Every structure is written in structure tokens, then in C-alpha cells.
Amino acid sequence: MTIEQKFTDLINADIDGDISAADKDELQAFLGDNAEGRALHDELASLCDTLNGVEQEAPPPYMRHIIMNSVPPTQGKEESPGFLQILLATPALKYSVTFAAGVILTLSMLNSNQISHRTFDAVTGLVGTVAEPVETTFAHSISLSETDIAGTVSLRSAGSIIILDFDLVSADHIEVQADYTDKTIWFNGFAQLESEGTTVSAETGQVRLTMEEGKRRYAVYLQNKGARNTTINLRFLADGRVVHQAKLDYAPED
Amino acid sequence: MSKTDDTKLIERCISGDRQAFEALLAEYEKPVYNAAYRMLNNRDDARDVTQTVFLKVFQNFGQYDPSRRFFSWIYRITLNESINWLGKANRLEPLAFEAADEGKGPEQEFESARVSATVQAALMTINTDYRTVVILKHFLGCSYVEIGEILELPEKTVKSRLYTARQHLKDELTDQGL
């Protein structure tokens, strides 16, 4: 026996709580006499409970970050400042502590013959004492949108210093390798902004960073004394597996 | 979030306030992503559609009619983008309905994940007209009136589609032992 469409509609309306008192009475009378109708009511009610009970999927943790990075700067707003500007626009002490920790860690991991103490002093000075904003020149940036890692890395310069500005979100522990073939370029320092989840080590021609899960903002300073054209090759690894590769080009302004 | 709250945020977005946009994003990221995922049955595609939706929202605030509720606008964009995405996918290759069985990881050991995957597989057996009303009703919690507003359909048509969709889903889930 087929249930009349009218009663099928009333059953659905009843389940959704969208039924008038008169229709409800009519439905009850129908269900009282009709076992098939009662079975359909139970089955549809169970279906709706199942559908309503399905858990929502959590969006990827880095998606919000990617979306915010993908929307263009809005009218009347200045472009998002670089890492160094942020660093210098806030009380220097806050960051100098972080920076000092990065430098100490770096020094402990570096071969001493790679370090120019003079330039280290200069960078430390920038962070700790300079009151006026330092002019940086934007050169190049790349975006990542992988399951494990997402965000942007930009390359800026300030005089002979190249600044790699990392603004990333990772879903897990990530290793970042930055290789530069020009051996006249030295690793010159490291700083991180409002987070402590990133560590750094360096050797000739390469800086390695390890970042923990979450949103991280940090910068690597390279000394390019000869103001040479160079390319920084970046590799992002999760569990030893390369999940993204990119390169950043730098050419000094004439 | 109330309509008033949304309207205030949108006014701030139009004036160039990125923080306001991030607040809207925080509010609607999850429902938009879930609507796209239930339409497309693929998390990567849902992620891409969600990004596209928010970019379109950002670029088209000027076209938003403040007399309407913001969610009806963004959900409509989401469903249209998802349907467009399905169209592109269909031109390349047939939809693989068995893809609902994706992710045979540990989470599938849990009952809720099994139910979710089974429901998703059933959803993919009904056409997009029916799927959209089910998603709006049961996954986004919209009323008949709101669904009608989003899809620009008479309430009677919304009910008719929903009831038919439920019948199909009931039969499909019974076949799958749920």
C-alpha cells in the first residue's frame, strides 16, 4: 500500500516541527490507523537524527591564514609591513631578548670562521637600539599552500643585508632548508616574532630552520657584502619528505 | 552571529578593515568549508572552493545587499562555486562516488566517522538540486524560508525537494546498512 503524498508531506513537516495543530491532529489520526505510515515516520525521523548528528569537518588549520594572505591590500591601507618594520615599530627590548636568544643559539651552532662579528654587531644594533625605521626593499616573495605548510616567504634587503621573512603556518614539525650557492654570503642572524617555536642552524651555503606546529613569524639575515645577485633555494620538509620547493631571487638595485 | 553584527563587520570590511574580514572569516570558514565538502566529497577541493568563496566575498562586498542576511549571500556563493567546480570535474572525468571511502586512516575506526562517510556516500548519489537542500537544512541548519532565500526558490519547492531527497537518502542508507 502506498502512502498518500499528503501524509508523506505531513510526516516530514512533523519531523521538522513545521506543522499546524490541525495538520498534526490529522496526521496523528492517520498514523493511529496506518502501520506503514508509522514505520515511515520512524524511519524519516531516524534519518534526520542521523543527518543532524553528523559531525562537522574541521577546516585545515592553515586555511584561514592562506585566505588572509590571498586577499589584496585594501584601499587606504598600507601594505602589510615587513618583519623588520614590525620588529622596529614595537618596543625594542621585547624583541631583542628573542633576537639575542636566536643569536646565542646560532653562535653555538655555527663554525666561527663564517661569522663576521662586525656585521653581527650591526644587526644586533638594529634590533636593540635603532629608533628610526629602517628602509627595506622588497625583492621577491613566494606563497605556499600545502597540507603540511602554508603561508609566505618574502625576500627584502636593507643595505648589504638580505632578510628572509617567513610568515608560515604548519600542521606539524617542519624543517626548512635555505641554500645559497654564493659562498660570499654569510648567515648573519635570526629573530622570531612573538613565538619561540623555531630554531636555526647554519653552515656554509645553507641555513636550516626547524619550526613546530602553529603560526610562526621569523626572519633570517644574510650578509651579502658584495651586493651580488643571488638565488635562495628553499626546501620544506615534513618527516624528511620534501613537501614544497621554491626559490627566491635577489638582484641589488642599481 | 546576528544580522546586525554581520552588517557592522561588512561595513568595516568595505572601509578596508582587514580585521573585520578576518572576523567574518572566523565565523563562516567552517560552515562554508563543510558545505563545499558535502557538495564535492573531497577535502582538497573543498579547501580550494572555500578560498575562492572568501576571495569573491572580499572582492564583491559592493554587490552585497544589506537588506538580506549575509549568510544567505555567502552560502549561495558557496553552493554556486561548488556546482561550478563539479561541472569542471565532470568535464575532466566522471565523479568517483566511491571516493567517500577516502581516508581509511585511524579516524575511520570511530563510529561517527563511519556514519559521516556513509552519509557522504549517500549524498553523492542524489543530484545537486536535492543535495543542496539537504546540506542547507541538515548541515547548515537553515529553515525552509532561509533555504528559499538562498536558492531563490518558493518554500513549497524547497519542501518538495527536501522530502524527495530524504526518501532517496533513506533508501540509500538502508541499503548501506545504516
DSSP annotation of B13 reads H
Instruction: Answer yes or no: do B80 and B112 share one domain.
Output: no
Instruction: Answer yes or no: do B89 and B111 share one domain.
Output: no
List, for residues A225-246, the tens digit of each pLDDT value: 888 888 999 999 998 899 999 9
What number of other Cβ atoms are within 10 A of residue A81's Cβ?
13
List, for residues A3-47, the tens digit of each pLDDT value: 899 999 999 999 999 999 999 999 999 999 999 999 999 999 999
Instruction: Answer yes or no: do B2 and B78 share one domain.
Output: yes
Query: Which residue in this structure is represented by grid cell 538562498?
Result: B150
| Confidence check: pLDDT of A78 > 50 | no
Report whether B16 contacts A74 (CB < 8 A): yes
Q: What is the per-residue pLDDT for A116?
A: 39
Task: Look up residue B12 and give its amino acid.
Answer: R
Q: d(Cα B113, Cα A47) in Å, to the nearest integer?
A: 16
* pTM exceeds 0.80: no
Q: Is B147 on the interface with A (CB under 8 A)?
A: no
Domain end marker among B93, B122, B149: B93
| Confidence check: pLDDT of B102 > 80 | no
Q: What is the DSSP string of A11-24?
A: HHHHHTT---HHHH
Residues contacting A68, CB < 8 A, separation 6+: B18, B21, B22, B25
Domain end marker among B93, B124, B139: B93
CATH number for the domain including B150?
A: 1.10.10.10
Residues B138, A51: C-beta atoms closer than 8 Å: yes
Q: Which residues pair with A189 in a beta bridge?
A: A221
Domain end marker among B59, B76, B93: B93
Q: What is the DSSP string of B50-84?
A: HHHHHHHHHHTGGG--TTS-HHHHHHHHHHHHHHH
Residues B18, A52: C-beta atoms closer than 8 Å: no
Instruction: Answer yes or no: do B112 and B136 share one domain.
Output: yes
Instruction: Answer yes or no: do B55 and B130 share one domain.
Output: no
Q: How many CA atoms lie within 13 A of A206 on its CB side?
A: 9
Interface size between A and B, measured as CB pairs under 8 A: 94
Distance from CA of A49 to the nearest CA of B (A): 9
Higher pLDDT, A113 or A47: A47
* Residues of A within an 8 Å Cβ radius of B: 8-9, 12-13, 16, 18, 43-44, 47-48, 50-60, 63-64, 66-68, 70-72, 74-77
Q: d(Cα B28, Cα B25) in Å, to the nearest integer?
A: 5
Among B122, B101, B111, B46, CA closest to B78: B46
Q: Is A180 helix (H, G, I), strand (E, B) or coil?
A: strand
Q: What is the per-residue pLDDT for B79?
A: 96
Distance from CA of B152 to the nearest CA of A (A): 20
Q: d(Cα A238, Cα A171) in Å, to the nearest integer?
A: 10
Complex confidence, ipTM: 0.84
Report whether A250 contacts A159 (CB < 8 A): no
List, for residues A196-209, the tens digit of each pLDDT value: 778 888 888 889 99
Strands A241-250 and A230-238: antiparallel
Residues B139, A75: C-beta atoms closer than 8 Å: no
> How many structural domains compose chain B?
2
Query: Which residue in this structure is represented by grid cell 549517500?
Result: B122
CATH number for the domain including B55?
A: 1.10.1740.10
Instruction: Answer yes or no: do B42 and B67 share one domain.
Output: yes
Domain carrying residue B59: 1-93
What rounded mean pLDDT belongs to chain B?
86
